Chains A and B, each alone.
Chain A
Amino acid sequence: DSGVTQTPKHLITATGQRVTLRCSPRSGDLSVYWYQQSLDQGLQFLIHYYNGEERAKGNILERFSAQQFPDLHSELNLSSLELGDSALYFCASSVDSDNEQFFGPGTRLTVL
């Protein structure tokens, strides 16, 4: 158990819908990262937050957004969902940048 929790574990929804994925980092970690794992793209970095502020963006679509709250949990919002958004979404946390990242168990999103 990495200490990073993600909810829900599975999510099934329809095209055009909006969903929110939640992540709670390890106690004491200020950085949260989101990654997408899909069969065709592999594991891709989406976005990084540190202590409530966005630090870096990767290959994140404009339909996707994220935030980190004062209690340090983070949410990834995916809107106008398409079939191709079906993937495993991982959250990771670390004390700060340049430190080891600990991954949560992931949320499996299926868009029908």
Chain B
Amino acid sequence: GNSVTQMEGPVTLSEEAFLTINCTYTATGYPSLFWYVQYPGEGLQLLLKATKADDKGSNKGFEATYRKETTSFHLEKGSVQVSDSAVYFCALLNQAGTALIFGKGTTLSVSS
């Protein structure tokens, strides 16, 4: 079946540090992949997406590349800010396109 595995958190970084949050998936075929972000007390916001192999999604300085060879979609940012503190979820869209399958989420805490 479909599943998403993310690195366990929390991740604690200083401002301007480099961020990597690992995400791997198991799925039939080549699903669309997503990163969602959840700020404290809020709903989920789409951060970026990639719909096919080798696509790179990017937004607000965050990037992730769809790697079918390693079934991975790692999230990176070159210089994090305090305002990036949130929970990050990796997700895939199932083959029927009817449901998102989420990882457990990774909490990022950035201090100044």
Contacts and interface: CB of A to CB of B under 8 A. Distances in A.
B is bound to A: yes
A105 B42 contact: yes
Judged by DSSP, the binding face of A is strand
Given A48-B99, A56-B96, A100 B105 contact: no
A2 B100 CA distance: 17
Contacts of B98: 48, 55-56, 97
Contacts, number: 48
A48 B36 CA distance: 19
Contacts of B27: none
Given A42-B102, A43-B102, A43-B105, A103 B97 contact: no
B43 A97 contact: no
B74 to A, nearest CB: 19
Interface stretch (B14-22, B44-52, B62-70): B44-52
Interface in A86-110: 90, 92, 97-106
Contact of A42 (B93, B96, B105): B105
Given A97-B96, A98-B97, A43 B43 contact: no
Contacts of B45: 2, 103
Interface residues on A, range: 20 to 34
Contacts of B100: 33, 35, 45, 92, 101
Interface in A49-72: 55-56, 58
Given A45-B100, A105-B43, 8 more contacts: A4-B43, A42-B103, A43-B89, A45-B99, A56-B98, A97-B98, A102-B46, A103-B43
Interface of B: 32, 36, 42-46, 49, 89, 93, 96-105
